[in-house]
Amino acid sequence: MNNLEKYLAKFKVLEPADRQQKEAVAEAIFRLAGIELTPKQIKFTGRKVFLTLTPIERSAVFIKKEKILTLLRDLLDRQAPTDLF
DSSP string, 44-60: EETTEEEE---HHHHHH
- Judge if pTM exceeds 0.85: no
Average pLDDT over residues 72-82: 80
Helix (H, G, I), strand (E, B) or coil at 83: strand
Domain that holds residue 58: 2-84
- Rg of the Cα atoms in the chain: 15
Total number of domains in the chain? 1
When pLDDT is averaged across residues 64-73 and rounded to a whole number, the result is: 88
DSSP letter assigned to residue 64? T
Q: How confident is the model at residue 16 (pLDDT cuts 50, 70, 90)?
A: low
pLDDT for 1 equals 58
As a whole number of angstroms, the distance between CA 11 and CA 25 comes to: 21
